[in-house]
């Protein structure tokens, strides 16, 4: 039985033989391994991902590797990240039902998770590159973020349970280290694994690395990420970690889960919509993308609106933790005091998410792990023009976030930069 032997990476050729006795998998796809069809579809930076189809259905088998797949075995990485992904998924399912794949089996020794095969879902980033305007993503993602971030915090959880969870996820050290360096530091100096569209972006890269105000703000965001254990984060919530159809949205891949600031997931997610916006000019081979650009800006507005509305609803109905107790406000007839505290919290989240969004834009263009939104633009000059606009936008968010008061203001800035022909 797999899991009682030393770790061994699965392959298309070995998976059926090694998992033929796994009851959870067989119950989903059937026991006749001669009818199993196995495909390896992992296109991420870290893991093996197989789709296994049988006579009775299909499932996904995801297995961690003891190194960063994008780089190779020169960058070792512990297998225990699958442990954190499994525990994050179970908590997300409890806190935001039907927003993540169902989990059928977890094998800690072999670092693998057997989970629901989402079909006909595709990765959100691919859909946006193709120009698809999905009607439900803003509401679905906004609700997911509000529910998981609120219900995983001291605003809602019993303090004993939250502290136990904090201790568990605090051991996700190596993946936090990746975030802390690749997101907040590496883009702003000549780090070994950085890459960018060169020579087209060489000038703006030099400017950003010499930008004292920007580097100070990036480090302030890093400090905030490292020092503020507000809630259990997804930790890597972007358009490549979301699967969609026209009617359904599911979040995947929370192996970077960690206790950090509420604004982190929100800022990283919105940054990816803004990057998709700036990439659209590179995907206009079959016609203009003006409508797609307008749609993407609308998605940022609607996502933030859905988040705010649901977070506010949970504040008023599920605020049962140690923070802002109702005994201090509503129980004394002071509903306005609770609303004042809510306004302060939402304002803090807003300001912080802009900072996180700004550095996320920079790291996706200047660091190790890039976005397909830009990378699939074959014309390097055109790609660089799109990226340069996004870099300028990201810098403004990070440095001037305290003077930005609404998402409409952000989107007006994005539209203005997008129209600038001189960049």
d(CA 26, CA 55): 10
d(CA 401, CA 266): 15
Report pLDDT for 74. Answer: 77
pLDDT tens-place values along the chain, 423 residues long? 454 679 999 999 999 999 999 999 999 999 999 999 999 997 666 789 999 999 999 999 999 999 877 677 778 889 999 999 999 999 999 999 999 999 999 999 999 999 999 999 999 999 999 999 999 999 999 999 999 999 999 999 999 999 999 999 999 999 999 999 999 999 999 999 999 999 999 999 999 999 999 999 999 999 999 999 999 999 999 999 999 999 999 999 999 999 999 999 999 999 999 999 999 999 998 779 999 999 999 999 999 999 999 999 999 999 999 999 999 999 999 999 999 999 999 999 999 999 999 999 999 999 999 999 999 999 999 999 999 999 999 999 999 999 999 999 999 999 999 998 544
Structure tokens, 33: 């391994």
Report pLDDT for 420. Answer: 84
Please say whether the beta carbons of 9 and 65 come within 8 A.
Answer: yes
145 in helix, strand or coil?
A: helix
Report pLDDT for 285. Answer: 81
d(CA 340, CA 347): 11
Kindly report, residue by residue over 351-406, the tens digit of the pLDDT: 999 999 999 999 999 999 999 999 999 999 999 999 999 999 999 999 999 999 99
Nearest residue to 2 (alpha-carbon basis) of 84, 83, 105? 105
Report pLDDT for 68. Answer: 77
Report pLDDT for 334. Answer: 98
Nearest residue to 299 (alpha-carbon basis) of 273, 278, 279, 281? 273
Number of neighbouring beta carbons within 10 Å of residue 284: 13
State the number of CA atoms in the 13 A half-sphere of 397 facing the CB: 35
Report pLDDT for 34. Answer: 96
d(CA 340, CA 330): 12
d(CA 205, CA 392): 11
Report pLDDT for 2. Answer: 53
Query: Residue 37 is inside which H or E element, if any?
Result: strand 37-40
d(CA 20, CA 34): 10
């Amino acid at each position: 039985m797999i899991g009682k032997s030393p770790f061994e990476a699965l392959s298309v050729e070995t998976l059926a033989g090694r998992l033929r006795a796994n009851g959870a998998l067989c119950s989903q796809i059937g026991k006749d391994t001669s009818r199993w069809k196995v495909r390896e579809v992992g296109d991420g930076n870290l893991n093996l991902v197989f789709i296994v189809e049988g006579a009775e259905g299909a499932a996904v088998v995801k297995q961690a590797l003891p190194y960063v797949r994008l780089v190779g075995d020169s960058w070792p990485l512990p297998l225990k990240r699958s442990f954190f992904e499994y525990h994050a998924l179970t908590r997300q399912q409890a806190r935001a039902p039907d927003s993540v794949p169902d989990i059928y089996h977890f094998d800690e020794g072999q670092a693998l998770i057997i989970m629901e095969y989402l079909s006909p879902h595709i990765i959100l980033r691919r859909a946006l590159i193709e120009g698809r305007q999905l009607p439900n993503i803003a509401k679905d993602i906004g609700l997911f973020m509000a529910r998981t971030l609120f219900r995983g915090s001291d605003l809602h959880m019993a303090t004993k349970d939250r502290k136990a969870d904090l201790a568990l996820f605090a051991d996700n050290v190596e993946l936090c280290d990746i975030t802390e360096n690749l997101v907040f530091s590496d883009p702003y100096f000549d780090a070994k694994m950085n890459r960018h569209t060169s020579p087209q972006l060489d000038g703006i890269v030099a400017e950003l690395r010499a930008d004292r105000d920007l580097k100070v703000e990036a480090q302030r965001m890093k400090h905030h990420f490292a020092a503020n254990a507000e809630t259990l984060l997804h930790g890597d919530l972007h358009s490549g970690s979301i699967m969609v159809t026209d009617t359904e949205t599911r979040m995947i891949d929370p192996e970077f889960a960690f206790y950090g600031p509420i604004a982190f997931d929100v800022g990283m997610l919105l940054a990816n919509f803004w990057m998709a916006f700036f990439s659209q000019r590179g995907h206009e081979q079959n016609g203009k993308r003006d409508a797609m650009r307008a749609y993407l800006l609308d998605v940022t507005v609607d996502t933030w609106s859905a988040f705010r509305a649901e977070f506010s609803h949970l504040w008023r109905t599920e605020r049962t933790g140690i923070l802002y107790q109702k005994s201090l406000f509503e129980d004394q007839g002071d509903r306005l005091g609770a609303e004042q505290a809510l306004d302060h919290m939402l304002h803090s989240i807003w300001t912080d998410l802009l900072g996180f969004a700004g550095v996320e834009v920079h790291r996706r263009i200047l660091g190790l792990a890039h976005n397909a939104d830009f990378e699939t633009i074959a014309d390097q000059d055109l790609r660089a023009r799109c990226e340069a606009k996004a870099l300028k936008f990201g810098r403004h968010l990070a440095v001037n976030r305290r003077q930005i008061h609404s998402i409409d203001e952000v989107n007006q800035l994005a539209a203005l930069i997008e129209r600038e022909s001189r960049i």
